[in-house]
């Protein structure tokens, strides 16, 4: 605790400040998407809303910090990503997140987000029922550090090794779809929303988790990779859809994930609300301007169709929203 409070007294590192501001200004789609989970409980809970947004901001910030650190040759993101775990584990001591990161001080920003999340978790009525599963998924988010390895061979070996350790056995999803699913916070968001329900049961927890992980999580990760593929190629960044054998396989694989995610969402208690979230996530990614270039527009149409009528309905709404908030390329 003293370590991070000492950092809060230092002058904020300009690079860390830049990364934090970039996440706020250019990843609003993610924060607004997280806030949508606030609509799942029967009654609105302001503590849940604060938790969802703050938690998403942690993920977005760490994605920027990890990518920059990896580019500078620092590939150990373990300590940095402990923030994802500790934000929803109020009994765990707060770590020195920047212990192995080239940055030195963020003015206490990251730890303030962590504390905000911890305080909100403690007042959600059913948090004890979702806690163990949510924390397990947060531990799996350590895979985010591997996503930014700059050596593609080492990266693929590390991702495969991670899946073998964390998710052994047979799965309907492919290995890179599983690691991609762990790279998305949707399952945790859904569990936190369930924690706001006083009458939440363990069977509810199990059903929601099984629908979101891997299906909704994997679908969003692959859609994100799909719309960013040109940018990733140009920058030499990791592309999840590049793990498919070829472009046709990638298109079919993403279509299957979107269909499965939509079906799983509708099957849950409160299915219409979960279906709105699934359709909104698909529409959010597919409304990005890069999805409508000449080379992708035909495939984008098939992915929209895979999301069903609700995705088609929401797509123009999300395109207008992107334009209004200057998020067209984000």
- Percent of the chain's residues with pLDDT above 70: 91
Residue-wise pLDDT for 144-177, tens only, equals 888 888 888 999 999 999 999 999 999 999 999 9
Q: How far apart are CA 169 and CA 48, in angstroms?
A: 34
Residue 5 pLDDT greater than 50, yes or no: no
Ramachandran quadrant class, 220 (left: phi over 0; alpha: psi -120 to 50; beta: rest): alpha
Is residue 63 within 8 A of residue 110, CB to CB? The reply is no
Cα separation, 243 vs 146, in Å, equals 15
- The DSSP string of 268-283 is STTHHHHHHHHHHHHH
Residues 239 and 233 sit within 8 Å (Cβ to Cβ): yes
pLDDT at 104 over 70: no
Give the model confidence (pLDDT) of 300-312 as tens digits.
999 999 999 999 9
> Where is average pLDDT lowest: 17-21, 46-50, 76-80, 122-126?
76-80
CB 124 within 8 A of CB 48: yes
Q: Output b/e per residue, 296-330; b: 16+ Cβ within 10 A.
A: beebbeebbebbbebbbebbeebbebbeeeebeee
Q: Distance between CA atoms of 280 and 313, rounded to whole angstroms?
A: 10
Residue 289: CB atoms within 10 A of its CB come to 14
């Amino acid at each position: 605790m003293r370590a991070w409070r000492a950092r809060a007294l230092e002058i904020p590192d300009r690079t860390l400040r830049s990364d934090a501001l970039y996440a706020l200004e250019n990843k609003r789609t993610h924060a607004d998407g997280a806030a949508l989970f606030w609509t799942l409980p029967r009654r609105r809970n302001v503590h849940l809303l604060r938790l969802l947004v703050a938690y998403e901001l942690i993920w977005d910030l760490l994605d920027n910090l990890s990518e920059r650190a990896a580019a500078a040759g620092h590939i150990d993101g373990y300590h940095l990503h402990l923030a994802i775990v500790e934000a929803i584990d109020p009994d765990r001591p707060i770590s020195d997140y920047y212990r192995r990161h080239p940055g030195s001080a963020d003015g206490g920003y990251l730890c303030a987000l962590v504390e905000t999340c911890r305080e909100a978790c403690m007042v959600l009525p059913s948090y004890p029922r979702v806690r163990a599963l949510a924390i397990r998924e947060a531990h799996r988010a350590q895979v985010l550090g591997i996503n930014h390895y700059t050596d593609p061979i080492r990266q693929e070996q590390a991702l495969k090794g991670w899946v073998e350790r964390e998710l052994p056995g047979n799965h309907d999803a492919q290995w890179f779809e599983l690691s991609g699913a762990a790279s998305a916070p949707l399952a945790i968001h859904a569990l936190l929303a369930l924690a706001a329900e006083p009458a939440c049961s363990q069977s509810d927890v199990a059903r929601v988790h099984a629908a979101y992980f891997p299906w909704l999580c994997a679908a969003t990760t692959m859609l994100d990779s799909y719309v960013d593929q040109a940018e990733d190629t140009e920058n030499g960044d990791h592309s999840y859809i590049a793990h498919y054998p070829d472009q046709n396989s990638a298109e079919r694989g993403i279509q299957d994930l979107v269909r499965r995610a939509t079906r799983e969402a509708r099957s849950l208690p409160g299915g219409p609300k979960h279906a709105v979230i699934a359709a909104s996530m698909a529409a959010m990614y597919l409304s990005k301007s890069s999805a409508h270039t000449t080379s992708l527009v035909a495939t984008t149409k098939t992915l929209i169709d895979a999301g069903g009528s609700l995705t088609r309905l929401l797509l123009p709404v999300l395109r207008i929203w992107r334009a209004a908030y200057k998020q067209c390329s984000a």
